[in-house]
Structure 1
Amino acid sequence: MKEPTLLVLAAGMGSRYGGLKQIDPLGPHGEIIIDYSLHDAYLAGFRRVVFVIKEELKDVFEEKVGALAREKMEVHYAFQKTTDLPEGCSLPEGRVKPWGTGQAVLCAKDVIDGPFGVINADDFYGRETYKLLYDFLTGSHTGDKMDFCMVGYVLKNTLTENGTVSRGVCQVKDGFLETVTERTKIRGTQDGGAEYTEDGENYIPLCPDSTVSMNVWGFSPELFTCLEEGFEAFLKAPMQDPLKAEYYLPGAVDGLIQQQKAQVHMLRTGSQWFGVTYPEDKDMVKAALKKAFDEGVYPPLR
Structure 2
Amino acid sequence: MNQKPTLLVLAAGMGSRYGGNKQIDGFGPNGETILEYSIFDAIRAGFGKVVMIVRDEILEVAREKFMPKLEGKIEVEWVIQSLESFVPAELRQADRVKPFGTAHAMLCAKNVIHEPFAVINADDFYGKEAFEVLGKFLSEEVKPDLHAMVGYAIQNVLSKNGTVSRGVCETNEKGQLIGMTERTSIAREGDKIVSRGEDQELVIKEGTPVSMNFWGFHADVFADVQRMWDEFLPANLHNLKSEFYIPTVANNLIQEGKAAFEILPGGKTWFGVTYTEDKPVVIESLKNLHESGEYPERLW
User: Is TM-score (shorter-chain normalized) higher than 0.5?
Assistant: yes
TM range (shorter): over 0.9
Query: CA distance change for structure 1 residues 87 and 238 in 2, over 3 Å: closer, same or farther?
Result: closer
Query: 1:76: Cα distance to partner?
Result: 0.4
2:184 corresponds to 1:187: no
- SS across alignment from 1:138: helix
- Residue 9 of structure 1 aligns with an amino acid whose one-letter code is L
Q: How many residues align structurally?
A: 297
The equivalent residue for 2:214 is 216
Aligned equivalent of 1:103: 104
- Shift in Å at residue 146 of structure 1? 1.3
Gaps of 5+ in 1: none
Task: Tell me how far apart the structure 1 counterparts of residues 67 and 11 of structure 2 sit (CA, whole Å).
Answer: 12
Structure 2 residue 156 is matched with structure 1 residue 157: yes
Structure 2 counterpart of 1:61, which letter? A
Are 1:75 and 2:73 an aligned pair? no
Distance 1:209 1:256 in 2: 25
Residue 140 of structure 2 is matched in structure 1 by 139
Q: Residue 235 of structure 2 corresponds to which residue in structure 1? A: 237
Report the CA distance between 1:202 and its aligned residue. Answer: 5.0
Question: Identity over the aligned pairs, expressed in percent?
Answer: 45
Distance 1:41 1:210 in 2: 26
Partners of 2:7 and 2:280 lie apart in 1 by 28
Measured after TM superposition, the shift of residue 252 of structure 1 is 1.1
Q: Secondary structure at the match of 2:68?
A: helix
Query: Could you tell me which amino acid in structure 1 is paired with residue 261 of structure 2?
Result: V
Aligned: 1:287 with 2:277: no
Instruction: Give the AA of the match of 1:79.
Output: I
Give secondary structure in 2 for the equivalent of 1:3.
coil
The answer (yes or no) to whether the contact 2:116–2:142 under 8 Å persists in 1 is: no
Partner residue, 1:265: 262
What is residue 203 of structure 2 aligned with on the other side? 205
Question: Compared with structure 1, are the counterparts of its residues 167 and 24 closer, same or farther at alpha carbon in structure 2 (3 Å cutoff)?
Answer: same
Contact 1:3 1:114 in 2 (8 A): yes
- Return the letter of the residue paired with 2:7: L
Counterpart in 2 of 1:47?
48
CA distance in structure 1 between the aligned counterparts of 2:59 and 2:233, rounded to whole angstroms: 27
TM-score by length of 1: 0.94
CA RMSD of aligned residues (A): 1.6
> Residue 285 of structure 2 aligns to which amino acid in structure 1?
A
Show structure 1 runs of 4+ deviating over 3 A: 85-89
Q: 1:291, 1:187 → 2: CA distance?
A: 25
Shift of 1:140: 4.0
In the TM superposition, what is the alpha-carbon distance from 1:177 to its structure 2 partner?
0.7
| In structure 2, C-alpha distance between the alignment counterparts of 1:202 and 1:69, rounded to whole Å | 47
Of 14-23 and 89-98, deviating more is 89-98
